[in-house]
A and B are shown apart, each in its own frame.
Chain A
């Protein structure tokens, strides 16, 4: 229980948001409940599943294990920020083309982790992909097609890099 609220400002998908939040409010609930960005999911309470993965200042984090106040002054990117101007990001195309999703519940977290991997490693090996997503659980796909989806995106991004001023 908390009477004190903290003022925070967070840039989410490029838009600044100012809000008063309880210090204990989790970032994932801030995104889902306060900003109504429900693409980021919750699958556990022990930081194991990765369904809640978002990028904070470009790095993948589990938003269930970060307080909203810790995101004060930072940039957050969620699944809703992947597509620009109605144009799907290659990682989204990859998941669709390679059948990298079934129920879709793990998918936003998987895509954000995959996106972050490709930012630092544009041409990852299969083992690098598997290790990168090893903090994201999927119960439906058996991962083979998720690996293919990320490879697909890697190829696409190498052949047509994001336009200047595009994705961070």
Chain B
């Protein structure tokens, strides 16, 4: 057994693995309670329809089916609608109208899983189809059917949001020598964690207590939401316990509240029995929140020598039928205003309009911090287009326009203060590692022979770690996060956090932070998350906020403990506090290092021999309110070869240089980057959810929605530079999503780079063989 404290920067093997590799994890569907009932859901085959009647007689006649719940039933309790996090509301079950295909229509409650499914099949619903709008641009046209008849404002337009100095940007464009404009569509995609969503609700009528085991990335926020939504039914927050068990991947898809959760709670309250709801994959892919779906028109202005001057962006955001995204409340378009990226623009202006369509709710992150991928993809595509139009090398173009290292902290024209960065260093490192100059030579030779090879760069800047309380809240809840550390008399530790790992390895990395600060071995530290009855209040894990916010809280709580430990050590060593020095794991008297007390000895004394005037015990809690966000960055270079017969894109090499500040566990960081890159590859080449004109979903199962397998996924090559965050107590920035943000543009840029000489300036992702083959054929390259 290792009994050493490793701390920051060590590739400590993960503690959580022990249960997972033995098949002993506890995911939601592994939990079984005595007397538990099963809930299954009837869903709409239509994208827009009036419900004329719901016939449940045949279903309830099935032995084991206990009830069929409809919107009208819920309406009696004021539960047919629930508020979203974006000041909109969403149907739990419809009273008379469905707004997208696969929307929940009724719930069946049964004694067994299979019987509940039988009940769903036996419910008969009569619909009257209504006109469908799937294109948000058409939804804004006069005469378009108004989808949300429940709203006072009779329009499909939800909100308009803008940022920047429009007049300054317009002037810059009037004066610019070089102007480039491009329409870019970033399609709807789905996070598809391999575990779907589900819950078990257990209402105990005698105590009036609700326990909700739930696939959630934000257990505390959920508890508060449940109390606010169902307070009128007697659910009070001190009697609500939300437990997030082991979670099989989240990536943003497990932040929202879906109707199934609410139905399970309602059914448990109704029956007094525990109720389990587990969605299947098709339900997950057809009805749970989606990401992206941004129709962007972007414009760049530059001088003749390639110096960028201004950016203008106009976007239509398809939010589906309900605005049920999970952005911080002041940011309906998330952090899209990071769209000036790594470049030093003099002026910029961005505007976004949110629109309703007959699709499930959109706007949920797909492993990224609130629309950062949309922003980063757009600016990195645009940078490449300008460079190519000017005949400049895309690397040289970027090096010329990067915010210089000495400009940090850097004030962006759209209002952010970038904490630190050295973009040149990251790009140069990536170029060196991949052999950029040689590749360009090879490409020139291949081009002469008619072979298609492309090199794509993406030098992204992220914005994560939401966020400072002056700007960031969700439903009014400030976006701090928390840690509580308890040191037991024998020096062993239990630490609890307000976040919730979904695979990121918090049990290991948080233990490393505490080990780093207190010198207690990781093996002696247990990290717990996800139980609202025990963990301190926090806003949860998404948007790469765990390390920047909760990780910082862990360090701050540990430092509070160290302050108290110093007092106890002074008492034990009969020395003055100021005469003591800290060396990891012990205090000693300056100048006589053998007069020392270890943290374990101090912990024991905290309970057995604490000084007069000081409270016993050795515990601390910290609620960390970050002074700023963190701005991880990196430069990725991708090399592709394109089959000019089939249009297939093959990634030959992909080098990722990331800078996430100081690293807690390099093994875990690399793993996060590998995973993020694969979730960047996915939308670049494979994944897309489309709808036909009637609103039928295409791509609503793993048969049609192509998650990359091990065969398509390249052997990622990673490297790093280290530019610590100046304001984070550990200098860390967060890394879980950088690669998802940075990778798509590198791949798309590589493909366009291979085709530019044929007159191809842009292709929307996913860049399928079909799309490439079509342009090759149009240009006579292939038959």
Chain A residues with CB under 8 Å of chain B are 1, 22, 24-25, 29, 32-33, 36-46, 48-49, 51, 78-80, 82-83, 88, 92, 95-97, 99, 101-108, 111, 126, 129-131, 133-147
Task: Check A140 against B20 for contact (C-beta < 8 Å).
Answer: no
Most buried by A among B114, B282, B502, B668: B114
- Can you list the 9 inter-chain pairs with the closest CB atoms, starting with the nearest? A39-B23, A105-B248, A103-B503, A104-B20, A142-B674, A79-B23, A102-B503, A48-B702, A142-B678
Question: What are 8 A-B interface contacts by the 8 Å CB criterion?
Answer: A102-B504, A103-B503, A104-B20, A104-B25, A111-B21, A137-B194, A139-B675, A144-B713
* Contacting pair B194 A106 (CB below 8 A): yes
A-side contacts of B249, CB under 8 Å: 102-103, 105, 139-140
A46 to B675, CA, bound (A): 23
Q: How far is the CB of B310 from chain A (nearest CB, A)?
A: 37
Distance A82 CA – B192 CA, assembled complex (angstroms): 28
* A130 proximity list for chain B (CB < 8 A): 710-711
Are B710 and A38 closer than 8 Å at their CB atoms?
no
Q: Mark B531-564, 1 if CB is under 8 A from A, else 0.
A: 0000000000000000000000000000000000
A44 contact set on B, CB distance < 8 A: 280-281, 701-702
Q: Does B645 contact A (CB under 8 A)?
A: no
Contacts A41-B27, A92-B21 supplied; 14 other A-B pairs, CB < 8 Å: A43-B194, A79-B23, A80-B23, A82-B23, A95-B17, A96-B13, A99-B670, A103-B246, A104-B248, A111-B21, A140-B671, A142-B677, A142-B713, A144-B715
When C-beta atoms are compared, the residue in chain A nearest to B26 turns out to be A38
A97 touches B505 (CB 8 A): no
Determine if B340 is an interface residue (Cβ-Cβ < 8 Å).
no
Across the interface, do B710 and A133 meet the contact criterion of CB distance under 8 Å? yes
Q: Which residues of B contact A105 (CB under 8 A)?
A: 25, 27, 193-195, 248-249, 503
Instruction: List the B residue with the shortest CB-CB distance to A24.
Output: B114
**Given known contacts A45-B701, A139-B707, is B23 in contact with A101 (CB within 8 Å)?**
no
Q: Is the interface of B mostly helix, strand, loop or mixed?
A: loop
B195 touches A41 (CB 8 A): yes
> Contact size class for B?
35 or more
Q: How far is the CA of A143 from the CA of B16 in the complex (A)?
A: 19
The smallest C-beta distance from A2 to any residue of chain B, in angstroms, reads 9
Chain B CB within 10 Å — which of A43, A44, A130, A139 has the most?
A139
Contact status A43-B195, CB under 8 Å: yes
Asked, given contacts A1-B118, A130-B710, A134-B711, whether A104 binds B679 with beta carbons under 8 Å apart, the answer is no
Which of A48, A101, A129 is close to B21, meaning CB atoms less than 8 Å apart? Answer: A101
* Residues 1 to 60 of chain B near chain A (Cβ within 8 Å): 13-14, 16-27, 29-30, 32
Q: Which residues of B contact A145 (CB under 8 A)?
A: 671, 674
Residue in A41, A48, A126 whose CB lies within 8 Å of B703? A48
- Bound together, the chains give a CA A71 to CA B724 distance in angstroms of 56
Give every chain B residue within 8 A of A32 (Cβ-Cβ).
Answer: 29-30
Complex CA–CA separation, A144 to B30 (angstroms)? 28
Residues in B neighbouring A95, C-beta threshold 8 A? 17, 21
Q: Evaluate contact between A104 and B16: CB separation under 8 angstroms.
A: yes
B23→A137 contact, CB < 8 A: no
With CB as the reference atom, state the residue of chain A lying closest to B22: A83
B176 on the A face (CB < 8 A): no
A140 and B503 contact, Cβ closer than 8 Å, known pairs A88-B21, A107-B20 = yes
Please tell me if the beta carbons of B709 and A134 are within 8 angstroms of each other in the complex: yes
Are A146 and B710 in contact (CB-based, < 8 A)?
yes
A-contact bits for B676-708, CB 8 A (1 contact / 0 none): 111100000000000000000000011100010
Which B residues are CB-close (under 8 A) to A24? Answer: 114
Q: What residues of A have a CB within 8 angstroms of the CB of B281 in the complex?
A: 43-46, 49
A138 with B194, Cβ < 8 A, contacts A83-B22, A101-B20, A105-B248 known? yes
Q: Mark B725-759, 1 if CB is under 8 A from A, else 0.
A: 00000000000000000000000000000000000
A92 contact set on B, CB distance < 8 A: 21-22
- Contact B713 A96, beta carbon cutoff 8 Å: no
- In whole angstroms, what is the CA distance A103 to B673 when docked? 15
Query: Residue B114 contacts which of A22, A49, A78, A82 (CB distance < 8 angstroms)?
Result: A22
- Give A127's nearest chain B residue, CB to CB: B711
**From A141, which residue of chain B is reached at the shortest CB distance?**
B675
Q: Say whether B622 faces chain A, with CB atoms less than 8 Å apart.
A: no
For residue B247, CB closer than 8 A to chain A, the reply is yes
Q: Which residues of A contact B707 (CB under 8 A)?
A: 137, 139
Cβ–Cβ < 8 Å partners of A40 in chain B? 23
Q: Which residues of A contact B423 (CB under 8 A)?
A: none
* Chain A positions within 8 Å of B503 at CB level: 102-105, 140
Residue of A38, A80, A139 touching B30 (CB-CB under 8 A): A38
Contacts of B716 in A (CB 8 A): 142, 144
User: Which of B23, B673, B709 meets A78, CB within 8 Å?
Assistant: B23
- For B192, the chain A residues whose CB sits under 8 A away are 139
Q: B616 contacts the other chain (Cβ, under 8 Å)?
A: no
Closest-CB distance, B757 to chain A (whole angstroms): 32
From B704, which residue of chain A is reached at the shortest CB distance? A46
Closest chain B residue to A26, Cβ basis: B114
Q: Say whether B418 faces chain A, with CB atoms less than 8 Å apart.
A: no
B477 within 8 A of A: no
**Who on chain B is nearest to A42 by CB?**
B29
Complex contact A79–B22 (CB within 8 A): yes
Task: Select which of A25, A83, A134, A143 is within 8 A of B678 by beta carbon.
Answer: A143
Distance between Cα atoms of A101 and B440 in the complex (Å): 37
B667 contacts chain A at the CB level, 8 A cutoff: yes
Digitize B476-489: 1 where CB-to-A-CB distance is under 8 Å, 0 elsewhere: 00000000000000
On chain B, the residues within 8 Å of A1 by CB distance are 62, 115, 118
Which residues does chain B contribute within 8 Å of A102, judged by CB atoms? 249, 503-505, 671-672, 675
A16–B22 CA distance with the chains assembled, in angstroms: 21
Query: In the complex, which residues of chain B have a beta carbon less than 8 angstroms from the beta carbon of A134?
Result: 709-711
Write out the residue numbers on chain B whose beta carbons fall within 8 Å of the beta carbon of A83: 22
Contact A141 to B195, CB < 8 A, known contacts A101-B21, A102-B505, A107-B21: no
Measured between beta carbons, the chain A residues less than 8 angstroms from B676 are 142
* In contact, B248 and A41 (Cβ under 8 angstroms): yes
B327 at the interface (CB under 8 A from A): no
- A54 to B673 Cα, complex, angstroms: 29
B678 proximity list for chain A (CB < 8 A): 141-143
The docked-state distance in angstroms from the alpha carbon of A37 to that of B32 is: 12
On whether A143 and B713 interact (CB within 8 A), knowing A105-B27, A105-B248, A107-B21, the answer reads yes
Most chain B CB atoms below 10 A, which of A40, A83, A92, A136: A92
Q: B294 in the interface, Cβ–Cβ < 8 Å?
A: no
For A106, the chain B residues whose CB sits under 8 A away are 194, 248
Least CB distance from A122 to B in Å reads 19
- Expressed in whole angstroms, the minimum distance between the Cβ of B248 and any Cβ of chain A is 3
Distance between Cα atoms of A36 and B248 in the complex (Å): 19
CA distance A88 to B13 in the complex (A): 16
Known: A96-B14, A99-B668, A141-B675. A51 touches B194 (CB 8 A): yes
Establish whether residues A39 and B24, one from each chain, have CB atoms under 8 Å apart when the complex forms: yes
Q: Which residues of A contact B114 (CB under 8 A)?
A: 22, 24-25
Contact call A80/B22, Cβ cutoff below 8 A: yes
Are B27 and A147 in touch, CB under 8 angstroms?
no
Contact residues in A for B248 (Cβ distance below 8 Å): 41, 43, 103-106
Q: Hey, which chain B residues are within 8 Å of A141, CB to CB?
A: 671, 674-675, 678
Question: Which residues does chain B contribute within 8 Å of A96, judged by CB atoms?
Answer: 13-14, 17-18, 21
CB contact under 8 A between A45 and B21, given known A140-B675, A141-B671, A143-B713: no
